[in-house]
Chain A
Amino acid sequence: METVNVKINGISIDVPKGSTILEAARLAHIEIPTLCFLKEINEIGACRICVVEVKGARSLVASCVYPVSDGMEVYTNSPKVLASRKQTLQLILSDHDRKCLSCVRNGDCELQKLCKDLNVDDETLYEGEQNQYELDYSSAHMVRDNNKCILCRRCSAVCEHVQDVGVIGANERGFKTNISCAFEMGLGETSCVSCGQCIAVCPTGALFEKDFTDEVFEALSDPDKYVIVQTAPAVRAALGEAFGLPIGTNVQGKMVAALRRLGFDKVFDTDFAADLTIMEEATEFLDRVQNGGTLPLITSCSPGWIKYCEHYYPDMLDNLSSCKSPQQMFGAITKTYYAQKMGLNPENIFMVSVMPCTAKKFEIGRDDQNAAGVPDVDISITTRELARMIDRVGLNFLALPDEDFDDPLGRSTGAGVIFGATGGVMEAALRTAVEVLTNEELPKLDFKEVRGTEGIKTASYNVAGMDINVAVASGLKNARTLLDEVKSGKANYHFIEIMGCPGGCVNGGGQPQQPASVINTVDVRAVRAKALYDIDASMPIRKSHENPAVKQLYDDFLEKPGSHKAHELLHTTYVKRSINSL
């Protein structure tokens, strides 16, 4: 590799040619603060927080985008640099709603941290006119508060370049510049897919999920309600981050203990419904293959992906699996089978789901998601909201014992838990489909070809004399690339897994936010996914069709996968939507 020699704060170091000053400084163990910079997503050098002094340069330069050259001398912490960063922050604060105490990001705001680090001692130094924006509550899943927006454009870059949606962006100019939707529409009136990736990258409290923690506490204190909680696979791989644990720590046991102490009557696991999804989806897949149904079959677990498909590929709705998502299947089974079994009135059951996802808040309100005549799921909260609930009641999370989920809907397999990582649904489905097709036990359960965080993965398997081509995509831009290949006839797949968020649910829009300093340097997706694959490897049962609780559900209630009853309760339909409202 060709290198150049640079001097950073007097330290001489060889760095790869083409590095930015920011990257070069990191190699010299110097962290330059950034605000708008997101690696490969938002490299616009706009916020001026990362400025540094380059010897001989006319003015300070933005280190995030400025390439090094041989012999360059850089000063990252000179008085001029520090004064400039501080002034930039003070100017940002001059048009920022500084209600930090009541802000959802109080304590983990990147702007707040920079102000502390750079010794901003007067937030009112440049007092003047401030923009006043109405808050946007129009979508089911989130709130946009432009009064807290600092115009870094991380959200709009993710929306357009990673998710290929582009419903938010910079409008107007100068002092009036604001991030919003076309023609000042509310987010809920656009083709926003509710993925929440904008929230995941927002450095401040400008973007946040609709918080339903008060409603959950209210249900928990209602003696007439039997409150049941289900937790998605990816939650256990990230919840610990909210309590200072390293990324990728599996906190399943403490999470269950915390939920029990919060007062839930039963603590169940969405992984159970993931196993159930595999039973239904693998059956649907085999049926389509054997009876000439629409192929490729595309998974339907990710509500962000589903909404994207409805808006952007309405001609491919027949390719979608008719299976409800695991969250919804779980609610449906709880309020029918479990209610019957326990002699509970489904109207008194209050189903709360904890999800790594914001689109799940949209999904619970979709049509046809009420198997028992009442909503399958009453409230869906994010991993972040659960962390807030734990903090609010003063649970010492780190000191909690490890506890197990309740029976029977807390029973799951290794196949269920890997749903949280891109490729996991495909691998789980293959474990079951291959055994059903060949009638033989799989010699090895790992389908490593579909693992990993690449945006698109493909593989072919010869099963019982038949070639099965599969593809896995995560992140909606990758989904578009894959689907365009399918539509043009360039690629021929039988089964496709698509997850709305890059890396799958572990990187969902409802997971604890990591600051850009971490996102830019650590593959958070891979580290969290590893936690799930480790759980899978340690499980005694790793195939969905061997889950004893799922088997019993079919024996006692649903008869068999794909039965009439299963279709009534566990399957759904989709609607065509347009991209633009006119």
Chain B
Amino acid sequence: MGISQKTVPFAGTKQQHEELLKVINQHKGDHGALMPILQEAQAIYGYLPIEVQTIISNEMNIPLEKIYGIVTFYSQFSLSPKGKYTISVCLGTACYVRGAGDIVNKLEDILKISDGECTEDGKFSLESCRCIGACGLAPVLTVNDDVYGKITADDVEGILAKYE
């Protein structure tokens, strides 16, 4: 129990806060205002940490839990910031049967974060994704726009080293 500790400390700026308040004021009173506010809040901050959700909760008089429930329901909303390098591991069927699960485990081990989280230094974030259409290269991972195919768990360390 306890507020789940995300790895990166919140670093929202005053400007972002003002932008968010502007968005909230635009939608206040609308039926179903929460979804557009959350989408725009994520566009402003890149993710939806407790600090951002609390602002929305206080301003909208909506229980924080209700907001958190929506954020954790939709996979497009993120509780963690994206790192400088976003690592996506394809867990589509082809990649999965060729060992993509081991690759995720290895990345979690090395980076000391879980799927969906970001390293403390803000450098790498890790996410698993569905089929990216490169089944011929399975298993596949991408780091930002770079694609790595036909890899094994043993290749992971070398790939990360390229982004030191």
Contacts and interface: CB of A to CB of B under 8 A. Distances in A.
Interface of A: 134, 136, 138, 160, 165-173, 181-186, 189-190, 579-582
Contact of A184 (B1, B58, B63, B73): B1
Contacts of B64: 182-183, 579-580
A180 to B, nearest CB: 8
B65 A182 contact: yes
A172 B63 contact: no
Contacts of B73: 170-173
Interface stretch (B17-25, B46-54, B119-127): B46-54
Contacts of B3: 183-185, 189, 581
A182 B64 CA distance: 6
A136 B1 CA distance: 7
Nearest to B74: A173
A172 B72 contact: yes
Contact of B57 (A185, A189, A580): A580
A437 B63 CA distance: 44
Given A172-B72, A173-B73, A582-B51, A166 B65 contact: yes
Residue among B58, B63, B66, B67 facing the most chain A CB atoms (10 A cut-off): B63
Given A160-B63, A169-B69, 12 more contacts: A136-B1, A165-B63, A166-B66, A169-B66, A171-B65, A171-B68, A171-B69, A182-B53, A183-B68, A184-B2, A185-B2, A186-B2
A580 B62 CA distance: 11
Nearest to A184: B4
Contacts of A170: 69, 73
Contacts of B72: 171-173
B67 A182 contact: yes
Interface in B1-55: 1-4, 50-51, 53-54
A169 B1 contact: no
Interface residues of B, number: 19
B50 A183 contact: yes
In the complex, the 4 A-B pairs of residues with the closest C-beta atoms, listed nearest first? A166-B63, A182-B68, A186-B1, A182-B64
A387 to B, nearest CB: 30
B142 to A, nearest CB: 25
B54 A181 contact: no
B75 to A, nearest CB: 8
Contacts of A581: 3
Contacts of B68: 169, 171, 182-183
Contacts of A166: 63, 65-66
B63 A582 contact: no
Nearest to A166: B63
A476 to B, nearest CB: 13
Nearest to A176: B72
Nearest to B62: A166
Contact of A189 (B2, B53, B66, B69): B2
Interface of A, helix, strand, loop or mixed by DSSP: loop
A580 B2 contact: no
20 contacts: A166-B63, A169-B65, A169-B66, A170-B73, A171-B69, A172-B72, A173-B73, A182-B63, A182-B65, A182-B68, A182-B69, A183-B4, A183-B68, A184-B1, A184-B3, A186-B1, A189-B3, A579-B64, A580-B54, A580-B58
B149 to A, nearest CB: 29
A161 to B, nearest CB: 11
Nearest to A174: B73
Contacts of A168: 65
Interface string B72-85: 11000000000000
Contacts of A186: 1-2
A169 B63 contact: yes
A183 B63 CA distance: 12
Nearest to B55: A582
Nearest to A172: B72
Contacts of A172: 72-73
Contacts of A138: 1
Contacts of B65: 166-169, 171, 181-182, 190
Contacts of B54: 580, 582
A63 B4 CA distance: 40
Contacts of B51: 582
Contacts of A189: 1-3
A167 B65 CA distance: 6
Contacts of A169: 63, 65-66, 68-69
Contacts of A184: 1-4
A172 B65 CA distance: 12
Contact of A167 (B53, B58, B63, B67): B63
A185 B63 contact: no
A170 B73 CA distance: 9
A64 to B, nearest CB: 23
A313 to B, nearest CB: 13
A479 B11 CA distance: 38
A183 B53 CA distance: 10
A167 B66 CA distance: 8
B23 to A, nearest CB: 19
A183 B50 CA distance: 7
A582 B50 contact: yes
Contacts of A171: 65, 68-69, 72-73
Residue among A138, A165, A168, A579 facing the most chain B CB atoms (10 A cut-off): A579
A444 B66 CA distance: 49
A189 B54 CA distance: 14
A380 B54 CA distance: 34
Contacts of A190: 65
B5 to A, nearest CB: 10
A580 B53 CA distance: 10
A134 B4 CA distance: 14
A581 B2 CA distance: 12
B60 to A, nearest CB: 12
A153 to B, nearest CB: 11
Contacts of A167: 63, 65
Nearest to B68: A182
Contacts of B1: 134, 136, 138, 184-186, 189
